[in-house]
Structure 1
Amino acid sequence: MNIEGKRSGEGFCAHKAILVNALSRALAERVVLMDFTIGRKGFLTYIKSLGGSNVIKVVPSSNGNASGLRVADKRLKVVCGTNISYLEDMAWVGDKTPLTLCDVRVSPSNTVKPNLGALELSEALSRVVPFTTTEDSKPVLQCVLFRVKDGKLTLVSADGYRLAVVKLDFDGDEGQVLINRDELRGIISALRRAYRVRVGFEKSGESLDGMSLVLDTELIRYKWRGADGNFPEYEKLIPANFNTSVSFDTNEAIKAVSSLKVLSDSKNYPIDLTIVNGKLTMSSPDEKGQAEIPADTQGEGRIRLDGSYLADALRACGGMVELKLVDSKSPMLFTSPDYELVVMPMFAGEAQQPKGEPVKAEASQPTEPTETTEPEAETTEGEQSEVEEAEKVGAVAEAEAIANAKAEKPKHKAKRKAKEPVAVA
């Protein structure tokens, strides 16, 4: 952290608001002041509680007076108006406080030549970080790829079912690095309060391949060492040719998804999308509800996807979004300015049929990115055994009733969670 202020012996004087701003934007849990280490959150709370002056003076003190008692130990003296306190080393640091450190440096000013907008970068990160995986067995997919090439900064993430890509205009040296999502969560909100930001890469240690990501703001310098591993060739996973496209307002679509979610019996709720005649229809497979959204359409198509995935995609895109489809079994592509999101469908060939058309008997099979799923026309083993047993006792009519009742039950309920991952692992 670089605090704008003045030196005062071995300590410094600074405006309280500047110190509070810097402490609240730091990501480390321990702060180093001179030779003292104190807990960032505790120190921040204490500074906010001080009144009487807008200026804070922080200096080391080996002999002070606290409530009439002589202080022999070396402590950190904090003065704000009439408030004086003496902080011990490791104050507000507990056994469970993460071992992450940041230094406080004081200088008249910190000049940063920006090469990217702070809000622009914060928004870009918020559109890729949610699409990283939580599986420890896939450490590379727990990271966001930062790549600079041909005047563009590209941020990429994937979780096996979704692939998010953001491209921003950028003025800087080329390079790439993988940064774990947990390292980036705090920076999203911190960047919203920064005035200037500069992004760059630095070599890490003695390794020629090791890289670190560096973000400089007017108050704080953030630096993360890159993770090991190679990110998949994501360009090959983005569909290029489509048969159907639809443009619509995400705000209206989010409301429709929320209404269908309330009607669902479980957290995993599939939604059928039907594109036809200048409108997008969202419906639940069990015909409990549907919503129509005005849209610009090209071609016709139907596809099913997980409702939570659809909601995440709509929130990430925002505003007007274009959805492009190949067929009901292939990945779909959501696009908005400088943003692409690939999502796998939930089932193949089982989107809800329009009223008046016969429903084909198809099995609920997970979608494969490169293989076609064939419909299953045979009766299940449970149905066959029941029919045979009924025939043995001569109850042919009863057997037919059982078979018809089984056929009428929706087959997708038992396999709602089946989703095929995008081949990025």
Structure 2
Amino acid sequence: MGINNLILANLDNPPELERVYRRDPDAFKQAFSYAWERMPDSRVLAVWHARLHFKETAHTEKTSSLQMDFIVMGLLAILAGICTRTLMYFVEQEAVAPINLIFGIMPFMAAFFAYKNAPNKRVIYTIASLFAISIVYVNILPLEQTDGILLAYLHLPVFLWMLVGLAFAGDEYKAGAARLAYLKFNGEFGVLYAIMAICGMILTVLTMQLFRFAGVDISEFYFENVVLLGAVALAIVAAYLVTRNLKLAKNIAPYIARVFSPLVLVTLAVYLVTVIGVGQNPFLDRDFLLVFNGVLLSVLAVTIFSITERGTNEQKNVSDYINCALIALALIIDSVALSAIVFRLSSYGITPNRLAVLGINLLIWANLIWVMLSYLRFLRNRAGASTIQDAVTKYLPVYGLWAAVVAFMFPLIF
């Protein structure tokens, strides 16, 4: 029986029509016009007509959207590269502080996400005005490297990172799912950027060697222009590729999280035992206390990365117990660090550095407690995995608020 007759003969048998379609979609679409002409009043054929033609329309719209996204990405990548190179010139002339280089990347990433998500005007105006205030504020600060100003430089990128997240989430910025998606984006972005950066390094080495063989030294020009522009533009390109649901980053990121979590756990445990064995004292050794806090931030980053990469519907597994152990170790480190900071504050007085470190350690300690309690509830089957992710996503604005306080208030107070 021809496919034309098969369509007409199975109008009352939807499963068989679906099987005919899946066997040869192209032949089905060609034969469908014959059946549609014979029975234009058929409700079944009307549904199939809408389905087939809607797919074609959707495909056209998707292709058009893809082309437009690519053009916008390309323009923003070029503008980001030019802006960063211009800022680098003024940095080299010591006319502006090096922190200004971050404005060659962050605003353009925010602009790309704002274009993609089309948030309401209130969100757009908020993002634009806060970026503008940040640029003006940084450039009215003295160029001298005081503790308060250095802390502002260290915390401002965190605040701007939150603004990029606001553009990423758009009108859904209050939703936990949007914040979780932003954290996942950062993990996948990091993986993809690193892969492409390695490829760029290989290309750079080959280019240097080729010109060196020709007796021409282009290293200074190449690094100041091509490498700098490429590194900045690559951030916009990587963001674009991740938003296109590139399978490479999405498939690799969860495995990286599962591999790194146990490695970090073992390394951290060995490190703590070694520290105790050699008698290092964070209460008296300032540099060691800074290293201790660096380890804490690294563990927090790995834990958050691992949590965001686990599926909400995924059953508990070995990775969850490893994460729980990591959080417990991080809490021990943070508790020791907090005790050392309080000791130094009471013994040596208040300084902007000690106050800033105390604040971030208190915030991390509270966040770790929340995550640990959520994990324990999950492992005891008293809550779902979403509870753990909520403990991460709902706390994000607190870090952004503290970063804003340090960046904008500490240089004025101290």
Higher relative contact order (CA 8 A, sep 6+): 2
Structure number having the greater helix percentage: 2
The normalised TM-score by structure 2 is 0.24
Structure number having the greater strand percentage: 1
